[in-house]
Amino acid sequence: MANVNFSEVFIPVAHGNDKAEKPIKFHIRFLTAAEQSEMEYMQFVSVEGKAKPRVNVRIDSAFIFLRGVESIEGWDGGSTAEEFANARGPAWMGEMVREVALHIKQAMEIDEKN
């Protein structure tokens, strides 16, 4: 997996997009340090019979997508992350948002290991 930078183009596989004649392409980038600090949030869940709540760390896929996508090509509904994320459409669009966000997050983790 390549490092995310300002010139990387990511083609998600959701809904057969990667095999399409004209796939939807996402121009993505690393999140800044400030953005990375906001991409996760804690969720406190009470557990029956336990005094302390369980803490789950959740990833905000929409946040990562909106901040990490510079532009979109090959989609008739527009060219921005905001237009894609706010569009009403089939479930595969949500799958693409999650796939792109996960790719950005994983690519940043790989870069930290190198």
Rounded to two decimals, the pTM is 0.80
Residue 82 within a domain: yes
Residue recorded with tokens 């690393």: 30
Residue 53 within a domain: no
Range of the domain at 20: 8-31+60-113
**CA torsion angle 64 9 72 102 (round to 10):** -30
pLDDT, one tens digit per residue, over 47-76 is 888 888 888 888 899 999 999 999 999 999
- Total domains, the chain: 1
Residue 92 within a domain: yes
